[in-house]
A and B are shown apart, each in its own frame.
Chain A
Amino acid sequence: MKPAPFSYHRATSVDDAVAALTQGAGMARILAGGQSLVPMLNLRLAPLDTVIDISRVDSLRQAHDDADSVRYGALVTHAAFEDRRVPDGSNGLMPFVAGQIAYRAVRNRGTIGGSLALADPAADWLTTLVALEGKLLIAGPEGRRAVAAADFVIGSYLTDLAENEMIEAVVVPRRSATERWGHYKVARKTGEYAESMAIALVDKARNYARLVVGATDGAPLVLEQAAQAFLDGRTDDALRVVIRDELLAAGREFSAARLTMHTTVAMRGLKGAAAK
Chain B
Amino acid sequence: MKVTISLTVNGAQIRRDVEPRTSLADFLREELRLTATHLGCEHGVCGACTVMVDGAPARACIALAVSLDGAEIRTVEGFAEDAAMGVIKEAFHQEHGLQCGFCTPGMLISARDLIARHPEADDVGIRRAMSGNLCRCTGYQGIVRSIKSAARQLSSQGKQP
Contact = CB atoms under 8 A, between A and B. Distances in A.
Nearest to B51: A105
A93 B75 CA distance: 34
A206 interface: no
A42 B21 CA distance: 9
Contacts of A55: 67
Nearest to B26: A2
Contacts of B53: 108-109
A7 interface: yes
Nearest to B68: A55
Interface residues on A, range: 20 to 34
Interface residues of B, number: 33
B131 interface: yes
B137 interface: no
A103 B47 contact: yes
Contacts, number: 88
Interface stretch (B8-16, B57-65, B97-105, B148-156): B57-65
B23 A105 contact: no
Q: Which 6 A-B pairs have the closest CB atoms?
A: A103-B132, A8-B20, A190-B131, A39-B43, A38-B62, A108-B56
Interface of B: 1, 3, 19-21, 23, 26, 42-44, 47, 50, 53, 56-59, 61-64, 66-67, 69, 110, 113-114, 127-129, 131-133
29 contacts: A1-B42, A2-B21, A2-B23, A3-B21, A5-B19, A6-B20, A8-B20, A8-B67, A34-B62, A34-B63, A34-B67, A35-B62, A41-B21, A43-B43, A53-B64, A103-B133, A104-B114, A105-B47, A105-B50, A105-B57, A105-B132, A106-B44, A108-B53, A108-B57, A109-B53, A109-B59, A190-B127, A190-B128, A190-B131
